[in-house]
Structure 1
């Protein structure tokens, strides 16, 4: 079976320029301030780096700003908190599966974290329950975590239950960590808001939403679509109805705006992904939001 992590790394290089990847790596590093004075190597300067870390001699030789990287004095903990219910087996905005986008996002940030020597673990769950997978900092370990997500997310999986997964994290995760929450479009009700406030006091949280497919037809003739959550079909004639399409657009825009505002009020940086090609720039934007919010 082909390596999921190799697929992630290949797509990172395919969809993003080297400069963008450096920006993402620098953005991730900039949210962690603890380090030792053990020199590791040099990399290109990115916004958010400390000016004092610039190696001026190397900069003069290469003609562009280069900064020193150091070996972390203590490992950080990145926990991939993944919705693995059947919602994530549905189609995303781009026509790709939400699962593929979620694996790409988790794999990309997990890979960068592991390169920094940080420990990456996984908490995944659905309506049937939640399971935690131990931390590690090797590519082989990250491959194992991605395979667990790939195995769990199917059209036959139980329904999604992000509140249940986050409740497990609130009870079971004692060490302060950075949580990368990956889920689909959802509304944040009062109960989920209270849970997130509790988690926000315990951990750092960044949030990725994998966008839903467009249920309405914009041109031509529609086909029936299948709702994986409710196990039902949306008939083609409804998808072609202009009045319903306008109402759908208003409702979808309202929910996305409400969710973003609720997360912002909770102090949680968030980003919405529509495709695998949007993962690297989306993660960089997310890290920048989180870094600025922590100032």
Structure 2
């Protein structure tokens, strides 16, 4: 099997030809608000230094501007959270299997974390079980995480319920991390909204939704979620198509409102070819929101 991380790097290399990859690196680096640094010493101010780094009390005593210097004390922890239920084995809007898009998105964020010296962990699962893999560094570790997501998602698995994975994080994860969530088009509900607000009070959270395939206009399909048949002739009915679009729009609005009220930066993607651009926009929006 071809390295999943190699596919991620290839996609990022294509992006680099269209827009400097350093831009998405920079956006990733600005995700964490505040500093994971300890004070070291003072030095004289030089043009170009950040004004916020001036120690005004020391400056007043010394008579000329002095800058605080810091040393890094730890790496950040990035926690990839994803749904590996059977919903993610269905087709996405762009015609690919959803899990392939999820692996690409998780791989891009994981690789950015690796480039910045951060450690990456994984929480994944379905409605029946949740698995947590500890945060570590290195490309080999990231490859293992991606392979686990890819191999664990199948039409024979339990249904999707991202609330289970988020609840696991709320109960077991200490400290402040970056949570990157990739999920199906889940439906908003008050309990989930409360859980998200609780998590957002502790962590930075980015959320990416993988879009569902459109209602099939030809052929007989079935729902991966509950195996119910999806009759192709029904999709050709203007009334059915209109009702479907209305229901999908209401679901999207409810989910968007829930995430926005929780203070979570969110976006969506239809195919793996859009992942890098979508993530760049997501990171940029998160930086501006801060």
**TM-score, scaled relative to structure 1:** 0.84
Contact residue 91 and residue 213 of structure 1 kept, 8 A: yes
Q: 1:250 — aligned with what?
A: 246
Deviation at 1:16, TM superposition (A): 5.1
Distance 2:220 2:129 in 1: 31
Distance 1:253 1:52 in 2: 48
Q: 2:5 — aligned with what?
A: 5
- Structure 2 unaligned regions, length at least 5: 39-47, 51-69
Asked whether 1:233 is paired with 2:229, we answer: yes
Measured against aligned partners, the alpha-carbon deviations of 1:192-211 in whole angstroms (never above 9, x if no partner) come to 01111111112111100000
SS for the counterpart of 1:34 is: coil
SS for the counterpart of 1:202 is: coil
Q: 2:107 — aligned with what?
A: 107
Q: 1:134 — aligned with what?
A: 134
Deviation at 1:213, TM superposition (A): 0.3
**Runs of 4+ with deviation above 4 angstroms:** 70-73
Measured against aligned partners, the alpha-carbon deviations of 1:127-182 in whole angstroms (never above 9, x if no partner) come to 12101001111000000000110111111111111111111110011121010011
Task: Mark the CA change 1:182 to 1:240 in structure 2 (over 3 Å): closer, same or farther.
Answer: same
- Structure 1 unaligned regions, length at least 5: 38-50, 54-69
Q: Which moved more, 1:22-31 or 1:86-95?
A: 22-31
Distance 1:142 1:133 in 2: 11
Q: How many residues were matched structurally? A: 261
Measured against aligned partners, the alpha-carbon deviations of 1:37-70 in whole angstroms (never above 9, x if no partner) come to 9xxxxxxxxxxxxx758xxxxxxxxxxxxxxxx9
Distance 1:35 1:235 in 2: 55
Task: Mark the CA change 1:256 to 1:71 in structure 2 (over 3 Å): closer, same or farther.
Answer: farther
Contact residue 80 and residue 179 of structure 2 kept, 8 A: yes
Larger Rg: 2
Deviation at 1:20, TM superposition (A): 4.3
Task: Mark the CA change 1:270 to 1:255 in structure 2 (over 3 Å): closer, same or farther.
Answer: same
**TM-score, scaled relative to structure 2:** 0.85
Asked whether 1:195 is paired with 2:191, we answer: no
